[in-house]
Structure 1
Amino acid sequence: MIHSVVFDVGETLLDDSREFGAWADWIGVPRHTFSAVLGAVTAMGKNNAETFQVLRPGFDLAAERQRREEAGMGEQIEESDLYPDVRPALAELRRNGVWVGVAGNQTRKTAELLRGLELPVDAIATSGEWSVAKPDPAFFDKVVEFAPGRPEEIVYVGDHRDNDVVPARAAGLRPVLLRRGPWGYLWGNDPVVVRDAEWIIDSLAELPGLISMAR
């Protein structure tokens, strides 16, 4: 039985291209260079924050994020940043009686911006609000508190092997790997993902049908 589905944010619900481009512009490197280094960092299994350390050793991400905000160039999320399959899939899940949540490694501001989009979800939370980030097991403890149902009745959907699939499975949840964005494509056929993921999907449009069959 599945009662709840909880979604990651970046490259699951949101196309991060605009935000990564804004960071490239902010630190003064070509966008293709930023993307290439991000890909290399990803392939090495490191957190994407390491991209900044490669390009600008000693980079203080939190301080620079605040500087962007003060300069009026802070993070923005618009309807156009959502992948096209997001609203239809979330709405269908809710019509089918599934509780739908969003919880990812993002700032408090991201949570506010997402709420402003009025997505068809029951609740939104971020690591910035919870003061704990993936892949820390405590993040998934929070997910279990956040979403109705026992751990095995909660699906967690994300694009990252080490931040989403592996720790969600370790917490007793049912992880789904979405093959999009650099991480999703890199690890879509990874043996660990194949072992731990409940399903590997190419679009969120596939999810309501899979959930219905599993219920």
Structure 2
Amino acid sequence: MIRAILFDLDGTLLDRDKSVKKFIDNQYERFSKWVGHIPKELFISRFIELDNRGYVWKDKVYQQLINEFGITELTWEGLLEDYKNQFRNHCVPFPNLISMLDELKSNNLILGIVTNGKGQFQMDNITALGIEEYFESILISEWEGLKKPDPEIFKRSIEQLKVSPSESIFIGDHPENDVKAARKVGMKGIWKRDFQWGNVEADIIIDGLEEIPLVIRRM
């Protein structure tokens, strides 16, 4: 019997690709006095390329942008601080996020999040999505001193939720860090399809959040 559903954040609940585009477009406009000599689309595309879908922390990204574009009146530290303070205002959820969580909660399922990333930054994004209250456990790698795919962070989460691995499902977009890692612990792994990956071994594959309640009922 399934009692608990655990989620990844970026790429699973938060549409990070759209959020990043929205943020960097706005950041360019807010700092146009100092970066206006750079074509907007070039600035945006280079940021996205260097960001590597979140796998490169923004200190490195902004240092590279400063050097490449010859930005002299802004510091990378200032741009990074702006990113940390402003990204939360540009968070875009995947469609049907709230209705999906409402349905799971109405079925008395216990919900958790396990995400890699900076602690306060990720918590700010969760709060911005308006979903913090749905989860009985939220583990963020920086605060836990562990990161996916380390099995211990999954074990810590299900211990907090007071469920066994066999009673738990993990849903994420990364084949290794999310699906494979959770399955190694004994959880069911649902892969939320992501265009950059090909064949992925998972218990179930979904395309959208609206599929989750039905999939859970069938399981």
Alignment TM-score > 0.5, same fold? yes
Of 84, 98, 101, the match for 2:95: 84
1:199 match = 204
The 3 A distance-change label for structure 1 pair 116 and 23 is: closer
- The percent identity for this pair of structures is 25
Offset at residue 121 of structure 1 (A): 1.3
Residue type matched to 2:20 in 1? Answer: E
Tell me how far apart the structure 1 counterparts of residues 107 and 90 of structure 2 sit (CA, whole Å): 24
TM-score by length of 1: 0.73
Residue type matched to 2:173 in 1? Answer: D
Tell me how far apart the structure 2 counterparts of residues 135 and 66 of structure 1 sit (CA, whole Å): 30
**Number of positions where the alignment pairs a residue of Structure 1 with one of Structure 2:** 193
Residue type matched to 1:81 in 2? Answer: V
Residue type matched to 2:143 in 1? Answer: E
Please say if 1:5 is aligned against 2:15. no
The 3 A distance-change label for structure 1 pair 209 and 134 is: same
Residue type matched to 1:156 in 2? Answer: F
TM-score by length of 2: 0.72
Please say if 1:134 is aligned against 2:139. no
Whichever structure has more helix as a proportion of its residues is 2
* Bigger radius of gyration among the two: 2
The 3 A distance-change label for structure 1 pair 106 and 65 is: farther
8 Å CA contact 1:147–1:154 kept in 2: the answer is no
Residue type matched to 1:199 in 2? Answer: I
Of 173, 187, 200, the match for 2:187: 173
Q: Which runs of 5+ in 2 are unaligned?
A: 29-34, 68-74
The 3 A distance-change label for structure 1 pair 65 and 143 is: farther
8 Å CA contact 2:91–2:129 kept in 1: the answer is no
Please say if 1:111 is aligned against 2:118. no
Tell me how far apart the structure 1 counterparts of residues 217 and 98 of structure 2 sit (CA, whole Å): 18
Of 18, 21, 43, the match for 1:30: 43
Tell me how far apart the structure 1 counterparts of residues 90 and 22 of structure 2 sit (CA, whole Å): 17
1:122 match = 135
The 3 A distance-change label for structure 1 pair 67 and 135 is: farther
1:212 match = 217
Residue type matched to 2:191 in 1? Answer: L
Offset at residue 37 of structure 1 (A): 5.6
Q: Which runs of 5+ in 1 are unaligned?
A: none
The 3 A distance-change label for structure 1 pair 75 and 165 is: farther
- Shifted more, 24-33 versus 89-98: the winner is 24-33
